[in-house]
Structure 1
């Protein structure tokens, strides 16, 4: 997720794509023209696909949830905010797509501040709500009888305010410290500070807050949830367990390579790693590839958290029938929402996985 806080080149908080190809004065001259040509095509293409798919998927989630806002639950609130943060993240990608293609920022100083901040806000907000939803599942399964009465709309609204405020606080330095500067005959949008403390803060927030802590929370919660689900006498348990495993595995696979490459790039710029052309070329090539893979995760959130739910899919089909009539969409008369409430156990399982809207 380039998150608003990233580390591609020295002292950058936004994607400075020239850092993929240029060598600093401390490096031996290396020919990175192949990496440059690859990134000119790969990043804009992938960003465009992620933008289109992300807008459609997350936009549908927002539309469906707002349409059925009278039946809102805590799960719905989390899904809505997750989709909103993903939309904010996706909103910044067209700017960075152009930036990656031409290696120059043409959108002015205000858009530089705004796009960088929104990028960071969407990234961390999405991560935080994934953690909230994981903790919610944990509470529902492990402490269902004692905590069920506390899962109210007021709690959902309070959590929403807390997550938004926390995400804004983390994003404020990016809003404030990014600017357009003329460097190396090009206009660039990156950090205006040369302080190493800011670089270390970037690395800490991206790797620890953006990956390690959420991953540890997921592993802990789901390692407790899965054995409990296996013992539940419901035909849905195997599907639920598989879904939980997919959530953790996909999150890990999509984000870990990117965060590792960012850390290696930081160590290389600090002179800790061996300084040679092979190392530099490998890092410059790995950055855009792993970044693109990580960004694609925002397109998967609607599928993982919403579209796999039968009830949610029913509502999506009903909404699409009004917009684009199609014979392939199942008629609401053949699929009533009450047909999905077969038992209290199944309903609880649906709430646990956050894949249905109760």
Structure 2
């Protein structure tokens, strides 16, 4: 308990001195908050809409129009499911970062844990796709033996289990609690100040001791950097480099066109994820070092912006890995045609019933009778 007679008070904007006690006001990060207020509601909303539409189309295509007949199809379907789960949880993550978390401890752990699972599974599945392309093109003689549906299902199950295991710290340490800086606990002359409003709970990391906090706050981003970025990047660079060399030896226009597709896939991956992971690496290295408010705020703004750029990749995955294939685009056109025919059938049934029925039946026949040789990721 503090008494007024113990202190001679003197203050400026961010520093107060009460006798022998120095109190430093925490950094406000107002600029980062302003950036987050723009990016959170608007940019992330666009990412959610595009990600939902693209990945739902991929899942619908595999569910109703194209069966999973190759290893690549299995990988693409799992990538779409992972990205879809991510964009569904993204609005809640943005809401948690901008305001208090009202949904309780169970939802907090599920949200943060599922985010981590989707991050690891999505990145590892992209590495699996690049390995599959390497086997199909560079190791063509072995591809029929190595690229079976049984192997692909086992590999996807392993990927999801590994992602779940790597996400255990997120499930365990993310907690719903009221941070101490939201409480008014400084007492003068034995009078407690009243809280300005209802408790403001957050969904963030919470640790019981300093040693655990130190290890976990270094281990979690380090694992994310190693397994969630550098490992997939190395696999993609190795596999696609060998694929490009093999394709360049083939004197064929379509093969050279495929080289450009591969370069775009790698370039988009690097452009989306490299800035954020470099920022995360810098933040991890300097996590426990003293920084000025200006430097800390600049780092937070960089993380906010580069993380949003990384989120864009979930919108681009359907375009890069699915719709780039000719056969997949044909299935997408059939989806649009069927939706158009069904729409006209319900809007004007008397006028268009016969025409729409014939068009719908013919469309379904063309879908069922279409050949499905090769994978949807046509090179």
| TM over 0.5, shorter chain | yes
Match in the other structure for 1:74: 71
The more displaced of 189-198 and 56-65 is 189-198
Kept in 2, the 8 Å contact 1:135–1:221? The answer is: yes
Match in the other structure for 2:338: 322
Match in the other structure for 2:221: 203
Deviation string 1:308-342 (CA, Å, 9 cap, x unpaired) is 11210111111122223499xx9987xx789998x
Once the two structures are superposed, the pairs formed by residues 165-314 of structure 1 within 5 Å of their partners are 165-183=161-179, 184-185=181-182, 186-193=200-207, 194=210, 195=212, 196-271=214-289, 275-314=291-330
Structure 2 Cα separation of the partners of residues 297 and 128 of structure 1: 14
Aligned residues: 321
Structure 2 Cα separation of the partners of residues 61 and 91 of structure 1: 16
Kept in 2, the 8 Å contact 1:44–1:101? The answer is: no
Structure 1 Cα separation of the partners of residues 229 and 91 of structure 2: 24
Deviation string 1:217-237 (CA, Å, 9 cap, x unpaired) is 111111111011011133211
- How many Å apart are 1:293 and its aligned residue? 0.6
Kept in 1, the 8 Å contact 2:123–2:232? The answer is: yes
Point out where structure 1 has 5 or more consecutive residues left out of the alignment.
Answer: 1-21, 342-346
Structure 2 Cα separation of the partners of residues 322 and 180 of structure 1: 46
Structure 1 Cα separation of the partners of residues 377 and 79 of structure 2: 13
- How many Å apart are 1:146 and its aligned residue? 2.3
Structure 1 Cα separation of the partners of residues 297 and 278 of structure 2: 16
Q: Which has the larger radius of gyration?
A: 2
- Alpha-carbon distance change, 315 to 209 in structure 1, aligned in 2, over 3 angstroms: same
- How many Å apart are 1:276 and its aligned residue? 2.4
Which structure is richer in relative contact order (CA contacts within 8 A, separation 6 or more)?
1
- Tell me, what secondary structure is at the counterpart of 1:190? strand
Deviation string 1:260-319 (CA, Å, 9 cap, x unpaired) is 112222233321xx7223322211211110111101111100000001112101111111
Once the two structures are superposed, the pairs formed by residues 311-350 of structure 1 within 5 Å of their partners are 311-325=327-341
- Are 1:52 and 2:70 an aligned pair? no
Kept in 2, the 8 Å contact 1:43–1:288? The answer is: no
Deviation string 1:123-162 (CA, Å, 9 cap, x unpaired) is 1111011000111111111211123233111111111211
Out of 62, 66, 72, the residue aligned to residue 65 of structure 1 is 62
- Are 1:89 and 2:86 an aligned pair? yes
Give the aligned CA root-mean-square deviation in angstroms. Answer: 3.1
- Tell me, what secondary structure is at the counterpart of 2:101? coil
Kept in 1, the 8 Å contact 2:175–2:206? The answer is: yes
